[in-house]
Amino acid sequence: MERQMSYVSSRVLRSFLHEGQVVRRGQSVDLRQAQFTQLASRGLVSEFQDPSKAAGKPQSASPAAQASQNKTAKQSDSGGPKRAPKIEK
C-alpha cells in the first residue's frame, strides 16, 4: 500500500542546501512535512500561505486611492516648525 506524503509550502528565511541545490532566502519551496519540521525548528523556513489560494474574503481588484495633498498637508495643532519661505531665482 502506497503512503501519501504531505507537503508544506515554505518561505525560506535563511539560505541552505536542499537535495544538492542551494535554496536562497526569500524563495518558496515545497517540503515534505518531516523536512519542514526539522528546518523550521532551526529557523531556516516558515510556512507560506499563498494569498491567491488563501480561503476567505477575496481581495479587492481595485488599488487603494492615493491620499489627497489637501487632506494630508495640514499643520499640526502643536504649531510645529515653521517652513522657510521659497526663494525664486
**pLDDT tens, position by position, 41-54:** 999 999 887 666 55
Examine residue 9 and state whether it is found in any structural domain, yes or no.
Answer: yes
Examine residue 19 and state whether it is found in any structural domain, yes or no.
Answer: yes
Q: Which residues of the chain have pLDDT under 50?
A: 1
- Whole domain around residue 22: which residue ranges? 1-48
Residue 70 has a pLDDT of 59
Number of domains observed in the structure of the chain: 1
For residues 13 and 41, the answer to whether their CB atoms sit within 8 Å is no
φ, ψ of residue 34 to 5 degrees: the values are: -65, -40
Examine residue 61 and state whether it is found in any structural domain, yes or no.
Answer: no
Q: Which of 32, 41, 35, 27 minimizes the C-alpha distance to 3?
A: 32
pTM summary value: 0.50
Residue 1 has a pLDDT of 47
